[in-house]
Structure 1
Amino acid sequence: MLTFTRHTRARTDTIALAPTALVIAGWAGRDEAAIRHHIEELAAIGVPRPSSVPVYYRAAAATLTQAPVLEVLGPDSSGEVEPVILSLADGLWLGLGSDHTDRKAETVGIALSKQLCGKPVGPELWRLDEVEPHWDSLVMRAYATIDGERVLYQDGTLASLRTPGDLIQRRPGGPDLPPGTVMFGGTLGAIGGIRPSTRFEMELEDPVLGRTLRHAYAVAVMPVVA
């Protein structure tokens, strides 16, 4: 069960949600050059190139987490900040999450790697229809603590990603997102390349309405025992 605080321009409320489905949209960029850049980033660490663009991976809804610490197996995983669309009974909402992925397993199978790590999601939501008119102005960032140093890991506007409406229309089983579904909406290239961290911080800034979603989690590495 996840808990969210929902913000609109008129009110704020809190809900509890047990998601029923998790969809992770991959290679969801609008800019073909940026997509190629991210594909080459992953290819550099042995990840096979996608069969189609965008692609829609399925993962267990139970992997979604709001815990402050994410336990992972071995040292080869890393986070990536993404906008997150939640379909609720009263419509679509926008949140923030990290498609934390086991990069070693990703070289074997991307769909497999998506299932192996928890998927952190932030506790706050905005109503999607309040931000859709200025979607391209939203700014998404991530900071990672690497070797004890906090560095800017990802930074850019959502103008580089497909809009939620476009992703939902293209999704197999569309054109609607059933209530209870959580969809991750794509990421930005990593500044300096994909690498693990001990802490991952993310934010989604709305400069038009003057507000920001934030979430962070620590990464605890468990030993791989043969």
Structure 2
Amino acid sequence: MNAIEFQVIPAAGAAYPARLALKNLVVAGWAGRDMAAIEHHIEELAELGVPRPSSVPLYYRIAANQCTQDAAVQVVGTESSGEIEVFVFQHDGQWLVSIASDHTDRKLEAHSVAMSKQVCIKPVANVAWRLEDVQAHWDQIVLRSWIDEKGSRTLYQEGPLATLRTPEDLVAGYLNSLNATSWPEGTGMTCGTVGAIGGIRAANNLEMELFDPVLGRSLKWTYQVECLPDVA
């Protein structure tokens, strides 16, 4: 079990704490709504040696101890990168929304997507919203991330949640894969990402933002990356 803490910021009223005793960490991959675009991306990655997914969407199980709220993380080698994703979980029977990074080893990805995700730690923010506060305008919410590149803050990702499957859809798909009807206690799931502007590349940090233009607020989180030597 990995205990992670959040400050929940409701649309109205005072903020309050929420604790997730994380037992199961799930990364929902291939979570876009446009199947033609997904197929095109699968073919692009296949040319780089990345194997095709066995199903779409695909639910990768990650060790719960790979989730962290530390502002600095360590990875082996220089060929990994992060990407912002919505992170959903339940607290006292209520669905909550935060953000996380599906940090992935891109070199290992060509051998095994599941392993490339498992070997990298998954940073998650310490703030959250109630899903019910944003559900009606979900598609208008924007995912963004920035990296430091050659000394400049560079926009790395930006796109609306309208391009991705909804949490309800992904939750239903995961439950179906388990042949279950209720969300497993202590489970958190990331919900897909938007494309990298200029291509996927490594960086020594990732600054993330989930921006709600309707309520005029953001969830933000930044983490730094230390690359450890890849020795043999």
TM above 0.5:
yes
- Taking structure 2 as the reference length, the TM-score comes to 0.92
**3-state SS of the aligned residue for 1:18?**
strand
1:150 aligns with 2:163: no
Corresponding residue of 1:105: 108
Gaps of 5+ in 2: none
Corresponding residue of 2:171: 168
Runs (4 or more) in structure 1 with deviation over 6 Å come to: none
Q: Would you say the 8 A contact 2:74–2:227 is kept in 1?
A: yes
1:39-70 deviation digits (Å, cap 9, x = unpaired):
35534543212121100000011100111111
Give the direction of change, closer, same or farther, for the CA distance of 1:37–1:151 in structure 2 (3 Å limit).
farther
In the TM superposition, 1:114-133 aligns within 5 A as 114-133=117-136
**3-state SS of the aligned residue for 1:46?**
coil
Q: Tell me how far apart the structure 2 counterparts of residues 79 and 68 of structure 1 sit (CA, whole Å).
A: 14
Corresponding residue of 1:50: 53
1:19 aligns with 2:22: yes
- Report the more deviating stretch, 176-185 or 66-75: 176-185
Q: Tell me how far apart the structure 2 counterparts of residues 18 and 147 of structure 1 sit (CA, whole Å).
A: 39
Corresponding residue of 2:213: 207
Q: Would you say the 8 A contact 1:25–1:186 is kept in 2?
A: yes
1:180 aligns with 2:186: yes
Q: Tell me how far apart the structure 1 counterparts of residues 150 and 197 of structure 2 sit (CA, whole Å).
A: 16
> How high is the sequence identity, in percent, across the aligned residues?
50
What do you get for the CA RMSD once the two structures are aligned? 1.5
2:33 to 30, 33, 42: 30
**3-state SS of the aligned residue for 1:130?**
helix
Number of corresponding residues: 226
Corresponding residue of 1:4: 6
Q: Would you say the 8 A contact 2:18–2:91 is kept in 1?
A: no
1:144-164 deviation digits (Å, cap 9, x = unpaired):
123333211110100000011
Q: Would you say the 8 A contact 2:88–2:167 is kept in 1?
A: yes
Gaps of 5+ in 1: none
